[in-house]
Amino acid sequence: SARIELILDDKPGQLAEVTKLIKNHNVNILSVVTLKAPTPGKRNCVLRLKTTELEAIKKELAGQGFQVI
């Protein structure tokens, strides 16, 4: 497994968009944790995925405007 960390806007639908993108890569999500980010209106999101091939997912997330850290 491998981990992706993102900073998301703290608004409805953000996590749903991320999980849909991961689903489109046919990758299973093992766990999700969200934490309050230091920046107001943002959330840190950590996803553990059942893959070690993250580059295509990270590239697509960034291309959709998500901040991958």
For 16-42, how does the pLDDT look when each residue is reduced to its tens digit (9 = 90+)? 999 999 999 999 999 999 999 999 999
Calculate mean pLDDT across residues 2-25: 97
- Counting residues of the chain whose pLDDT is more than 70, the rounded percentage is 100
Where residue 57 falls among pLDDT bands split at 50, 70, 90?
very high
Q: In the prediction, which pLDDT does 66 show?
A: 96
The b-or-e profile of 14-51 (16+ CB within 10 A means b, else e) is: bbeebeebbeeeebeeeeeeeeebeeeebbbbebebee
